[in-house]
Chains A and B, each alone.
Chain A
Amino acid sequence: MLSQTSPLAVAIFAFFVAVVLGLSFWLGRHARSSQGYFAAHGTIPWFVNGIAFAGDYLSAASFLGICGMIAFYGYDGFLYSIGYLAGWVVALFVIAEPMKRLGRFTFADALDAKFDSRGIKLAAAASTLVISVFYLIPQMVGAGALIKPLLGLEHYWGVTIVGVTVVIIVATAGMVSTTWVQFIKGSLLVVFCLVLVVMILVRGLTIDPYGKDGHRFRVLAEADAVAGATILPAAAEWAGKPYVRAQGVDGVVAVWRREADGRLSECQTFKVSKDKLTRIANGRPQGIGPGTGDLHPIGHLAALPGGVAATGPLSPTAFLSTVQDSTVVLWAKEEIKHPDGAITTVWSQKPTPGADLMAPGQHPLFKGIRGELPLVDPAKPATRTAWWQALWSRVDFISLMLALFCGTASLPHILIRYYTVKDQASARKSTVVGIAAIGFFYVLTLFLGLGAMTSGMLDPTDTNMSAPLLAKSFGTLPFAIISAIAFTTVLGTVSGLIMAASGAIVHDVMTNFLKIGLDDAGKVRAGKIAAVAVGVVAMWLGIQFAKVNVNFLVGWAFNIAASANLPALLMLLFWKGTTKQGITWAVVVGMVSSLAWILLSGPTFKDVYGIDAARSPVPFSQPGILTIPLGFAVLVVVSLLTRRRTGA
C-alpha cells in the first residue's frame, strides 16, 4: 500500500524525536570515562533503571510485531507476550543478583569472573555479538515499517535514518544517555498505549464492510460477479487454482475466489515484475490518482453476536468475549509465480469465527496444535504423515515457549542493565518495576492487536505496520504520537544493543582477549568505532529482512540467547563442578547449533532464500527444545572430562 504524508503528522513526529534526543544528549553530557561510557557509573536510580528495563525490553518487536501478529492471526501473537514476560521471572529470581555479584561490564565478565580464561572471553563475546545482531535486525525492520506510512518513504529509508541517528547517539554519549532514552520512551510507550486501548474500548466493535478507503469487499453469485466481463482462461500458473479472473470492459482484471457454496468472493492482487519496477495493484498500475490503483486496507468484521451492527462502548472483558462471538474477515495469502519471473500475490477473504482466533493455533506455524493428535491407521500412510505433522507443530510450539522463557535472562543488552545500579537490592527493585511495567504493557497488546484487527486500516502486505495504522484510524494526532514513540523505541533498543555489541568487541575481544593495551580514552574511541561498524552491518541486514514479521525474528534471537548463554550462566551459578572448558564449549555449541538450525529451517528457506519450505531438512523451526538441553549436556560432559584431567 502507498501512503499519503500528512505535514502535521511529520511535524509532531519530528518534534517528539528531537525532544527525546535533545534530552538524552543533555543528560549524557557528563559521561566521559570508560566506566561512565559502558556502565553509566553504576549510578542510575533504581526506579529509572526499572522503567529503562521496560524501555529496553519493549522493543519495536514487542510493540509492532506482537500487535501485527495478533491483528493477522489472533491469539498466537499473544503467546509471545506471555513468553516474553515469563522470561523475566527467570531473570529476577535466578539470575539477577548473582550476576550483579559477579560482573562489572558485560556478560563475558560475569562468566569469566571465576576463571579468567581467554577462551570464555572470546566465546562469550562472540555469542553477545551474534545475539545482538539477530536482535538488531527486527528493530531495523520495524523502523522501516514505521517510516513508510508516516513519511511515505521506502522501507530502506527508515532503516537508514534509524541507523545513522543511533550511531550518532551511541558515538557521542554512551550508556548514561541510552538509559535515559529508555526511561523516557518506556514511560511514554506504556502511557500512550493505555490511551489507545481506552479509545478502542470506547469505540467498541462495528460492522463496517467498507474499509477506510470506502471500498466494499463483495461476495456475489457468479453471474453477478462476472457480469459483462470476459473470463480469462486458467493458463499454466493459474491452472488448478480456485480463482476466477474476469477482465472488465475497461481492461482491468479482477480476481475472484470460488467458494464452497459456488459464490465468488472478491480477492486483492499485487503483481511485481522480476526487476521489481512494475507493480500492478488490483489490476491497475500502483499509484495515487486517475487510472492507477492500490490495495485496499483490510480488517473488518463480518458479524457481531446478536446480529447488531455496532456494540457501542465495551468493558475490557465484554470486548474480549464479543470478539470471541464475532466473525472476523481474515485474508488468506497465496503467491502465483509467472513464467517471466513476476510474482502475483493473491489475498482472499477468509471469514473466521472469533472463537478460533482467540485460542492458539491460527498461525500457519502452529496450525497442527488444534484438537487431539490424529489417530494413525497403519494401512494408510497419509494418517501417519498427519500424525507427524501434528506432532512437529506441537514440538515447534513448545520449543518457542521454552526459548522465550529461557531467553530473556540470557539477552546481552538486558544483562548489561544490571550493572547500571549500585547494588543487588537496587537491581532487584529495578527488575520488579520492570516486570510491572512490561506485564501491564503486554496485557495492553492483546487489546491493541484485536483493535487493529477490526480497524479497517491494515496493510495486507505488512503485518509490522498494524499498530501505527490502528492509531491512524483514530486520527492524525494519535498516529503521529504513537509513531514517534515507536520510533524512539527503536532508537533506544538499537542504542542499547549496539552498546552491548561494542562493549563485547572492545572490552572482551580487544582488551581481554587480544591484550591490546588501550588507555581510557582509547577504549572509548574504540567503542565508538565498533558501534559504527555494528550499526552499518545491522542497517544492511534490516533491509534484507524487510518482509519477515519482526516478532518472528526476535523469537529466533531468544532461541540463540537461551541456547548459548543460559546453560553457562545457570551452571556457573549453581554447580561447583563447572570448568572453564565446559563453559566455553557450552556457549560455542549452543550458539552454533541453534544458529545452524535456524538457517536450515523452513521459514528461512521460504522468506530469506526464496526456496520451497518443504525442502528444509529440519522438521520444525524453533531449535530451543533441542539446543538448550544440548548446551547443558555439553557443559556437564566437558566439565567432567576436564576436571578429571586436571585432577589426575
Chain B
Amino acid sequence: MDPADEPAAGDERHATRVGLVLVTVYCLLYAGFIGLAAFGGDLLKTLRPLAGVNLAVLYGLALIVAALVLAAVYMRACRRRGDG
C-alpha cells in the first residue's frame, strides 16, 4: 500500500466536503430524471437526441456513467490532497 494513501485528519474533512459536493451534483441529475419521468409528459419517450435512441435510455445510461465519473473525480481529489 502506498503510504500517500493514508489520510490524515485534515484530509478526512476534505474528503467529506468533496463527497458532499459530488453527492449534491448527483442528486440534481437523479432528481431531473425522476421529474422528467413523473411530470415530463412523453418527453422521455419521444425525444431521440442521439443515434435514434430515446431520451429515457440515454438519460438512464448517462446516470450510470455519471456515477462512475464522479467516483473517479472523488478518488483523484482525495489522492491529490494525500500526495500534497
Contact A431 B71 (CB under 8 A): yes
Residues in chain B near residue A371, CB distance under 8 A: 41-42
Q: Would you give the 0/1 interface string for B20-37, flagging 1 where the beta carbon is closer than 8 Å to chain A?
A: 101100100010011001
Residues in chain B near residue A101, CB distance under 8 A: 12
Tell me the B1-39 residues at the A interface (CB within 8 Å).
1, 5-7, 12, 15-16, 18-20, 22-23, 26, 30, 33-34, 37-39
Tell me the A331-373 residues at the B interface (CB within 8 Å).
355-356, 358-360, 369-373
Task: Please tell me which one of the listed residues A93, A97, A442 contacts residue B20 in the complex, with CB atoms under 8 A apart.
Answer: A93
Task: Report how far A370 CA is from B67 CA in the complex, Å.
Answer: 27
Contact A360 B23 (CB under 8 A): no
Contact A369 B52 (CB under 8 A): no
Question: How far in angstroms is the closest Cβ of chain B from A608?
Answer: 28
Contact A97 B34 (CB under 8 A): no
Contact A81 B38 (CB under 8 A): no
Given A92-B19, A324-B54: A82 and B64 interface contact (C-beta under 8 Å): yes
Task: Report how far A90 CA is from B39 CA in the complex, Å.
Answer: 25
Residues in chain A near residue B74, CB distance under 8 A: 92-93, 428, 432
Question: How far in angstroms is the closest Cβ of chain B from A570?
Answer: 11
Residues in chain B near residue A86, CB distance under 8 A: 26, 30, 63, 67
Q: Would you give the 0/1 interface string for B53-84, flagging 1 where the beta carbon is closer than 8 Å to chain A?
A: 11011001101110110111011001000100
The verdict on A94 contacting chain B, using a C-beta distance below 8 Å, is: yes
Q: Is the interface of A mostly helix, strand, loop or mixed?
A: helix
Contact A78 B60 (CB under 8 A): yes
Contact B70 A428 (CB under 8 A): no
A360, A405, A446: most-surrounded residue (chain B CB, <10 A): A360
Question: How far in angstroms is the closest Cβ of chain A from B35?
Answer: 9
Chain A residue nearest in CB terms to B68: A439
Contact A369 B37 (CB under 8 A): yes
Q: Would you give the 0/1 interface string for A305-329, flagging 1 where the beta carbon is closer than 8 Å to chain B?
A: 0000000000001101100110000
Binds B, one of A379-387, A418-426, A533-541, A615-623: A418-426
Task: Report how far A646 CA is from B41 CA in the complex, Å.
Answer: 53
The verdict on A398 contacting chain B, using a C-beta distance below 8 Å, is: yes
Contact A372 B41 (CB under 8 A): yes
The verdict on A637 contacting chain B, using a C-beta distance below 8 Å, is: no
Residues in chain A near residue B82, CB distance under 8 A: 425
Q: Is the interface of B mostly helix, strand, loop or mixed?
A: helix
Residues in chain A near residue B56, CB distance under 8 A: 75, 358-360
Contact B57 A370 (CB under 8 A): no
Contact B6 A94 (CB under 8 A): no
Residues in chain B near residue A370, CB distance under 8 A: 42
Residues in chain A near residue B23, CB distance under 8 A: 89-90, 93-94
Q: What bracket does the count of chain B residues touching chain A fall in?
A: 35 or more
The verdict on A88 contacting chain B, using a C-beta distance below 8 Å, is: yes
Contact A398 B38 (CB under 8 A): yes
B7, B39, B54: most-surrounded residue (chain A CB, <10 A): B54
Given A426-B1, A435-B68: A321 and B51 interface contact (C-beta under 8 Å): yes
Residues in chain B near residue A318, CB distance under 8 A: 51-52
Task: Report how far A513 CA is from B71 CA in the complex, Å.
Answer: 38
Question: How far in angstroms is the closest Cβ of chain B from A251?
Answer: 47
Task: Report how far A533 CA is from B78 CA in the complex, Å.
Answer: 43
Contact A85 B19 (CB under 8 A): no
Residues in chain A near residue B37, CB distance under 8 A: 360, 369, 397
Contact B53 A97 (CB under 8 A): no
Task: Report how far A86 CA is from B50 CA in the complex, Å.
Answer: 23
Task: Report how far A443 CA is from B22 CA in the complex, Å.
Answer: 22
Residues in chain A near residue B6, CB distance under 8 A: 423, 425
The verdict on A394 contacting chain B, using a C-beta distance below 8 Å, is: yes
Residues in chain B near residue A432, CB distance under 8 A: 71-72, 74-75
Question: How far in angstroms is the closest Cβ of chain A from B19?
Answer: 4
The verdict on A429 contacting chain B, using a C-beta distance below 8 Å, is: yes
Residues in chain A near residue B18, CB distance under 8 A: 93
Task: Report how far A92 CA is from B73 CA in the complex, Å.
Answer: 12
The verdict on A252 contacting chain B, using a C-beta distance below 8 Å, is: no
Q: Would you give the 0/1 interface string for A582-624, flagging 1 where the beta carbon is closer than 8 Å to chain B?
A: 0000000000000000000000000000000000000000000
Task: Report how far A356 CA is from B72 CA in the complex, Å.
Answer: 35
The verdict on A501 contacting chain B, using a C-beta distance below 8 Å, is: no
Task: Please tell me which one of the listed residues B5, B7, B45 contacts residue A356 in the complex, with CB atoms under 8 A apart.
Answer: B45
The verdict on A209 contacting chain B, using a C-beta distance below 8 Å, is: no
Chain A residue nearest in CB terms to B66: A89
Residues in chain B near residue A394, CB distance under 8 A: 38-39
A-B contact pairs, 12 of them (CB 8 A): A86-B63, A89-B26, A93-B20, A324-B48, A325-B52, A359-B56, A398-B38, A401-B34, A424-B15, A425-B6, A425-B78, A439-B64
Interface contacts beyond A89-B67, A360-B56: sample of 13 additional A-B pairs, CB < 8 Å, sorted by A: A75-B57, A85-B64, A89-B71, A93-B22, A93-B23, A93-B26, A317-B51, A317-B52, A355-B54, A373-B39, A424-B7, A429-B75, A446-B60
Closest 9 CB pairs of A and B: A321-B52, A93-B19, A359-B45, A425-B5, A317-B51, A93-B23, A359-B56, A394-B38, A89-B26
